[in-house]
Structure 1
Amino acid sequence: MTSPANPLALIAPLIADLAHDLPMELRCQRLLTVLRQLLPCDAAALLRLEGDALVPVSVQGLSPDTLGRRFAVAAHPRLRALLDAPGALRFPLDCALPDPYDGLIEGAAEHLDVHDCMGCALRVDGAQWGLLTLDALDAGRFSGAELALLDTFASLAAATVAATRRLQQLSLRVEDERRRADAYRHGAAPAPATLVGQSPAFRQMAAEIDLVAPADLTVLLTGETGAGKELVARQLHARSGRADKPMVTINCAALPEHLVESELFGHVRGAFSGAVGDRHGKFQMADGGTLFLDEVGELPLAVQAKLLRALQEGQLQRVGSDREHHVDVRLVAATNRDLAAEVKAGRFRADLFHRLSVFPLRVPPLRERGRDVLLLAGSFIEENRRRMGLRGLRLSAAAQDALLAHDWPGNVRELEYLIARAALRARARGDGGTGLASGLGPIVSIEREDLALDAAEAPSTPGGAMAGGTETAAGGTVAACDLRQEVDGFQRRKVEAAIAAHPGNLAAAARALGMDRANLARLAGRLGVAVPRAARRPAG
């Protein structure tokens, strides 16, 4: 392969870019475009080193889901060798080390392995920053004479990265240093889950997280079930000044009404039956850190008043105690309800609603995030590849199209579980169901049928087409509807039937439904089910 006659003419625009404030994504794409003109190849990638993993910043010629992956250095010996090399490195054609991009190069008729690859570590301000990699499907595409050119280009790439970093806002630089400190502090622990996305909706949410995380304000996260509200709450804590303190989570919907107050504020010995000793509540456990109240809209009104006092004054009392305790807690709350509507209906206190929503932050549903679904899928695929011990796991083009066409009523959580199931099906098909796939085995491809997400239109029925129908995993169809309305309707019918079967005895109706009497009364009130006056009195 011959190099261009005038490499300087190609590099000159990149040098001129150093004087301009350009988005990082645009700079990286320009770098890779020029690199592939200087050294023609099938794929090129720029990866940033984050802790013990390499994260793709920009790619050309690789599958879109590559951007959502994190390549653990310990799991990819070729990437480790490039990081350790003093300069540019080309691997021998007979190198036995698996290539992390095998099967990921676009445009190949088959899931071909990479046959020739080289790369170079980037060092910025004397420290390792990441890697530049070049890959080709043809053996012998590269030669040793081109290593010097790659070394020179890597210096320019490092200068570009350094210039971009110096042009960033001071707040972003401070945040980056905090992330580095967290990485060093928790180096022995597994890397926490991170937010992944590039869509406008995701970028807006990420910008709001960057804005409010260090401000110590109370944040109210709203969004559909499965959209990732808890992960956003963890990001808010990790990027705050309380990151070295505990984050405590409590699901308000999972607690019986008579235990909510004890869980939040604690209790003293003898406060109620079963209180055999003093117990700290979640507020005291989170002192100095962050308390995450999930499904806060499910809190009983009586507890809402005490929560409001704790938020306003930082004072709380354990159940059964007259002594007040001071706590310093940052509160992050989440709900999938419309709390403003709940306030109008009298089911949520207006003053608490305003106190919680000092900074409202909406977590967008997956269907509003466009091609982010492929980035998230790539992240989940890499997790499953490591867990299953596969050499390579990829999405076929048809599978990518199916993911993009799906409406994702269950949001990111649905995608995570779907990828896990699809990976199992793909592995079983790829190794005959033996489960013996290994790091030296074939590359496993997730096909459309592995997803069980046929996007075909629902067939029409004798009564007319089922408009907006959704196909189920069993092959049937259900009419499109609001999930909460369906759940509320089902609960309303069950509650009405139980009350009718036990007239005048709410406790018996609650036992028939397998729930607490007070919870049934609260649920009936929320659903608008009338409870006869005689049934409101406790039995006995």
Structure 2
Amino acid sequence: MTSLPWFNSISSLVDDLALELSPVERYRRLLLGIRKLIPCDAVALLRLESDYLVPLAVNGLSKDTLGRRFLIDDHPRFKVLLDSPNPMRFPANSALSDPYDGLIEGVTSLQLEVHDCMGCALFYHGKLWGLLTLDALMQDSFNHVDFDLLQLIASLTVATVNVGERIEQLRGQARLAQEQAESYRLAITHQTAREWLGQSEPMLNLQKEIELVSQSDLTVLIMGETGVGKELVAQSIHRLSQRAKKPIVAVNCAALPENLIESELFGHVKGAFSGAVSDRMGKFEQANNGTLFLDEVGELPLIAQAKLLRVLQSGQLQRLGAEKEIHVDVRILAATNRDLANEVKQGRFRADLYHRLSVYPMLIPPLRERGHDILLLAGYFLEQNRARLGLRALRLDPLAQSALLNYTWPGNVRELEHVIARAALKVFGHSGADKQSIVSMSAIDMQLTESNIEDTQNSIDKVPLALKGQDLRTIQDDFLRHYISERLDAHQNNLSATARELGVNRANLARLLKRLNMRS
């Protein structure tokens, strides 16, 4: 029998290659095994994507690290490792800052830096795939590390990546009847046109639904609260569909002027109305053979709904002012934050159009139901703001993490993005131009956000008691009339000033006043 102290650990990792594990569990075991072989405070597996390194699995680092995207040009240590064909160790006095400074899990001191660091580039099928990094807080922790062992670990890591990706590829072929090896890299995040972050059960289930429905041409009605990412879901469905090489054209139905809806959707010919100085192609024609995304479809007036229904039924449209009909082949994805079934009951949405749009209804979970996905998203937004502000490091302290997890997020992912941006800016203001300091984001911005929500609740409490028992739309409209009227009075009926305070476009506010039968 061998006497090598690391033999059993290596054997255990090799045995794992034969097991059918989820990617998350496979990489969890791998990194845990590496820390047993080489004692350290943190180990990370990162995949190379264009100019970025994407963390796929971490052990010993803050949970929000998984949401970060490390721009290689911002992190010279990563660049040195990627350029080296052999494992490397950085001296304790290296002038190159460590990307993980301040991110070691369980460390509360903001100035505590990584003092021993090593890593190696990973090559997959002869191509540079990513990095394996090991970090320790104590200087000289890696003095006795055998670099042959580290190279063996690197080879085992590549084998683990190979096995994991092959298993997922085969699963994808069985489920979708087509190869998705290029779209799948690894499992902690599944990326689409923009970042798609989440490993909570609701998001994994949603991802399965997206992959399933993308293989059909069914019309999808994407439902969910404001800010949950309905447009991102639509982009994901299109990107995975057979129409991916054709355009996806988005239409914000809430922003369409009522007198121009038909022209925007179906186009017009020269002279069709005052100002129509030339022929114009509508959104349906622009999306021909591709996908048309109707965002906030519940805001369309009834007359526009009838014209939309005709095109959905026949595929035939007529430009405004034209005599000839045009045939289009368009896949429809629609999104709304309204309860359209209730809108149908209230007579504000056509039943036939609702059934035509909701062939495959899809509900996007709100952020408050996604658990620790909040920290992944926070990490992603933190890294964006760190790079934008030129900070050396930006992390969440334990209080901030708890505040993020315990907050109800009425504005969902969009609100989280704005909260992180504001907090990062405050941190930058406190740290000034000292880009070498490691900073921590406090929970104060969350408290400010909750205060804003409480102020809104106080305004809602002013709605007359007589509204009790009425339907939700009536209550909502009456509250809007009451609140907007109050703000208009405060600004001496200045529409622009009122719109700025309410955070809406002036034209949109004018249209809302018209719908509410209020004089602007």
Does the TM-score normalized on the shorter chain lie above 0.5?
yes
Alignment of 1:162-241 (within 5 A): 162-168=162-168, 169-171=171-173, 174-178=179-183, 192-241=193-242
Q: CA RMSD in A?
A: 2.9
C-alpha distance in structure 2 between counterparts of 1:452 and 1:516, whole Å: 29
Judged with a 3 Å threshold, the aligned counterparts in structure 2 of structure 1 residues 170 and 304 are, in CA distance, closer, same or farther, namely: same
Equivalent residue number for residue 307 of structure 2: 306
**Measured at CA, do residues 244 and 144 of structure 1 come closer, stay the same or move farther in structure 2, by a change above 3 Å?**
farther
Point out the more displaced range, 164-173 or 106-115. 164-173
Given that residues 165 and 184 in structure 2 are in contact (C-alpha distance below 8 angstroms), is that contact kept between their aligned partners in structure 1? no
Label 1:514 to 1:99 Cα distance change in 2 as closer, same or farther (>3 A). Answer: closer
Amino acid aligned to 1:126: G
> How much does 1:146 deviate?
2.3
AA of the residue aligned to 1:74: D
**Preserved contact between residue 402 and residue 453 of structure 1 (Cα < 8 Å):** no
Matched-pair contact (CA < 8 Å) for 2:13–2:30:
yes
**Does the 8 Å CA contact 2:220/2:357 hold for their aligned counterparts?**
yes
CA shift at 1:145, angstroms?
A: 4.3
The 3 A distance-change label for structure 1 pair 211 and 54 is same
Partner of 2:437: 442
Using the TM superposition, name which of 104-113 and 219-228 deviates more: 104-113
Task: Write the distance in 2 (CA, Å) between the matches of 1:96 and 1:13.
Answer: 38
Match of 1:358 in 2: 359
In 1, Cα distance between equivalents of 2:204 and 2:510: 45
1:271-325 deviation line (CA, Å, top 9, x unaligned): 1222222111111112222211111011122222221222232211111111111
Matched length: 476
Q: Secondary structure at the match of 1:347?
A: coil
Letter in 1 for 2:141: R
AA paired with 1:53? Y
Partner of 1:120 in structure 2? Answer: 120
Shift of 1:401: 0.9
Shift of residue 126 of structure 1?
2.3
Shift of 1:154: 1.1
Please give the per-residue CA displacement for 1:474-499, whole angstroms capped at 9, x wherever unaligned: 989748999988743323558999xx
Matched, 1:146 2:146: yes
Q: TM-score, with normalisation over the residues of structure 2?
A: 0.85
Tell me, what secondary structure is at the counterpart of 2:395? strand
Counterpart AA for 1:401: S
Matched, 1:264 2:265: yes
Deviation digits for residues 432-477 of structure 1 (CA, Å, limit 9, x no counterpart): xxxx244xx21221112244458xxxxxxxxxxxxxxx63379897
Q: Which structure carries more relative contact order (alpha carbon 8 Å, separation 6+)? A: 2
The 2-side partners of 1:276 and 1:445 are apart by 57
Equivalent residue number for residue 466 of structure 2: none
Kept in 2, the 8 Å contact 1:419–1:451? The answer is: no
Please name the residue that 1:92 is paired with: 91
Question: 1:50 offset after TM fit, Å?
Answer: 2.4
Cα distance change on mapping 1:517 and 1:126 into 2, 3 Å:
closer
Q: Does 1:490 align with 2:479?
A: yes
User: Do 2:38 and 2:145's aligned partners in 1 also have CA atoms closer than 8 Å?
Assistant: no
- 1:519 is displaced (CA, Å) by 7.5
Letter in 2 for 1:49: L
Q: 1:19 aligns to what?
A: 18
Residue 402 of structure 1 and its aligned partner are, at CA, apart by 0.9
Q: Are the structure 2 counterparts of residues 473 and 367 from structure 1 closer, same or farther at C-alpha, using a change threshold of 3 Å? A: closer
Equivalent AA in structure 2 for residue 264 of structure 1:
L
CA apart distance, 1:52: 2.4
Alpha-carbon contact 1:223-1:336 (below 8 Å) kept: yes
Indicate yes or no: 2:391 matched with 1:390: yes
Asked whether 1:55 is paired with 2:54, we answer yes
Match of 2:134, SS? strand
Instruction: Write the letter of the residue equivalent to 1:355.
Output: R
* Matched-pair identity in %: 55
Alignment of 1:419-430 (within 5 A): 419-430=420-431
Per-residue Cα deviation, 1:229-276 (whole angstroms, up to 9, x for no partner): 111112222222222322211111112211111110011112122222
How far apart, in 2, do the equivalents of 1:239 and 1:437 lie? 44
1:216-236 CA-partner distances (Å, limit 9, x unpaired): 322111000111111111222
Local SS of the residue matching 1:96? coil
Structure 2: gaps of 5 or more residues: 186-191, 464-471, 487-505
**Secondary structure, in 3 states, of the residue corresponding to 1:27?**
helix
Aligned ranges 1:410-489 → 2 under 5 Å: 410-431=411-432, 436-438=433-435, 441-453=436-448, 471-472=451-452, 478=458, 487-489=476-478
Corresponding residue for residue 104 of structure 1: 103
Q: Partners of 1:421 and 1:45 in 2: how far apart?
A: 29
CA distance in 2, matches of 1:7, 1:51: 35
Contact 2:268 2:276 in 1 (8 A): yes
- What TM-score do you get using the length of structure 1 for normalisation? 0.82
The 2-side partners of 1:107 and 1:514 are apart by 50
Q: What is the alpha-carbon distance in structure 1 between the residues aligned to residue 482 and residue 455 of structure 2?
A: 27
Q: CA 1:138/1:297 → structure 2, altered by over 3 Å: closer, same or farther?
A: same
Which range moved further: 298-307 or 27-36? 298-307
1:128 maps to amino acid: L
**Structure 2 counterpart of 1:166, one-letter code:** R
Q: Is the 8 A contact 2:198 2:376 kept in 1?
A: yes
Match for 2:441: what amino acid? I
SS in structure 1 of the partner of residue 123 of structure 2: strand
Report the Cα offset of residue 13 of structure 1: 1.8
Contact 2:375 2:401 in 1 (8 A): yes
Q: Secondary structure at the match of 1:177?
A: coil
Partner of 2:132: 132
Query: Which 5+ residue runs of structure 1 have no aligned equivalent?
Result: 181-190, 455-469, 498-512, 530-540
Is the CA contact (8 Å cut-off) linking 1:293 and 1:333 kept in structure 2?
yes
Question: Corresponding residue for 1:342?
Answer: 343
* Cα offset, 1:360, TM superposition: 1.2
Check conservation: 1:247, 1:290, Cα contact below 8 A: yes
